[in-house]
Structure 1
Amino acid sequence: MNHTSIDFIIKKCRKLFLDKLKDYDLSWKLLKNSSIIDQILIKIIRIKNIQSKGYQEIKEEKITDTYMDVINYIVIILIKLDIFFVLNFDKISCHDVIFLYNKKFEKIKNCIHEYSPQKIFSINNVLKNILYLKKNEEEVPFKKLEKIYFKILIETIFLLKKFDTKIFIVLFFILY
């Protein structure tokens, strides 16, 4: 497993998250998880459509940006789950959110070795899991819910990594 590219993906997602946090603050606190799941679903369908066509109509938002949006939306749901059970929802600060965001990615980095490089990851698996959550989120126990979100998150990271490693190599040299 090439952890450098995973680290790079995490770094890019974190930068995007922080930029959006500056623009939108904690507005996502007002959304129900089901609304965020709908946003994820829209992004995943966009990815599937681009992949099936082989090109994208809207050039301003690249497919890699869409993957990063999915990753960040899932992390937001995981943060919301933490906030619901641990913190006073009304008193959460941007600093708390950044701390929780970083904590989620540390957990991902610590468990990513459990996923075999031979495992087949697909956007269809992600879609299937999102649709399952859309239908059953209210009935799924917290620990299982968290586990499903982490599975989707890790699979999406691997899909983004697999999508085009060349993009990240080029970005790396441009940014550094």
Structure 2
Amino acid sequence: MVDKTVSEYKEVIRQCKELFEKKTKDYGTAWRILRLPSITDQIYIKAQRIRSIQEKGGMQKVGEDITSEFVGIINYCIMAVIQMELVNDDELEIPYERLEPIYDRVATETLELLQNKNHDYGEAWREMRVSSITDIILMKLLRVKQIEDNEGKTLVSEGIKANYQDMINYSVFSLIKLDYVHNN
């Protein structure tokens, strides 16, 4: 089952990266102007929309379904980690060729985290409801906001990057459960 999870993870990330590449070619790296709390808020908006649609029994007025919002969460979380790494880099416009290896490294590090946690938790996520996963993502966002409000300081908690990575993994889990890999 673990090999299946890894291959599904890689396929979800491949599709997310493909969209990231196209949007980078369309818009450039305009997101580089955002401070980390602004990226966190953008992720929050996406997660809150998912929850709202779930609570309304799938009813929505905007065309994008919740799978596109989970993809957005993944890409914004990866952007946030990249932004954290490039905090002292003032260059706003970064060519995709320079971003691609960073994107790949962040995705690989996050997959390694998933594998370690999956080893300990035994793929428990497969038994979870997507709505519960959405709530966990929202909880992690509230944690990140609190850490940001505390200027990045924590006493015993994992840091912001680990929370972004968890949100990536939970979003991947949701997309796997929603059969995104086979529907796109």
TM-score (norm 2): 0.81
2:33 alignment partner in structure 1: 30
Instruction: List, as ranges, runs of 4+ consecutive aligned residues in structure 1 with deviation greater than 6 Å.
Output: none
Deviations 1:1-25 (A, max 9, x none): 3222211110110011011101110
The number of equivalent residue pairs is 167
The residue aligned with 1:40 is 43
C-alpha distance in 2, partners of 1:152/1:91? 25
Q: C-alpha separation between the residues in 1 aligned to 2:183 and 2:92?
A: 41
In the aligned structure 2, how far is the partner of 1:76 from the partner of 1:102? 12
Aligned mates of 1:144, 1:133 — CA distance in 2: 8
Contiguous gaps of at least 5 residues in structure 1 = 172-176
Deviation of the 1:96 alpha carbon: 2.0
User: What is the alpha-carbon root mean square deviation over aligned residues?
Assistant: 2.1
Alignment partner of 1:160 out of 154, 157, 175: 175
The one-letter amino acid of 1:8's match is: E
Q: Structure 2 unaligned runs (5+)?
A: none
Question: C-alpha deviations, 1:51-103, integer Å up to 9, x for none?
Answer: 12221323631211110001100000000011125xx3327622222221111
Aligned to 1:64: 67
81, 85, 96: which one aligns with 1:78: 81
Residue 54 of structure 1 aligns to a residue whose secondary structure is coil
Conservation of the 8 A alpha-carbon contact between 2:147 and 2:153: no
Q: Which moved more, 1:140-149 or 1:42-51?
A: 140-149
C-alpha contact 2:28 2:93 (8 A) present in aligned 1:
no
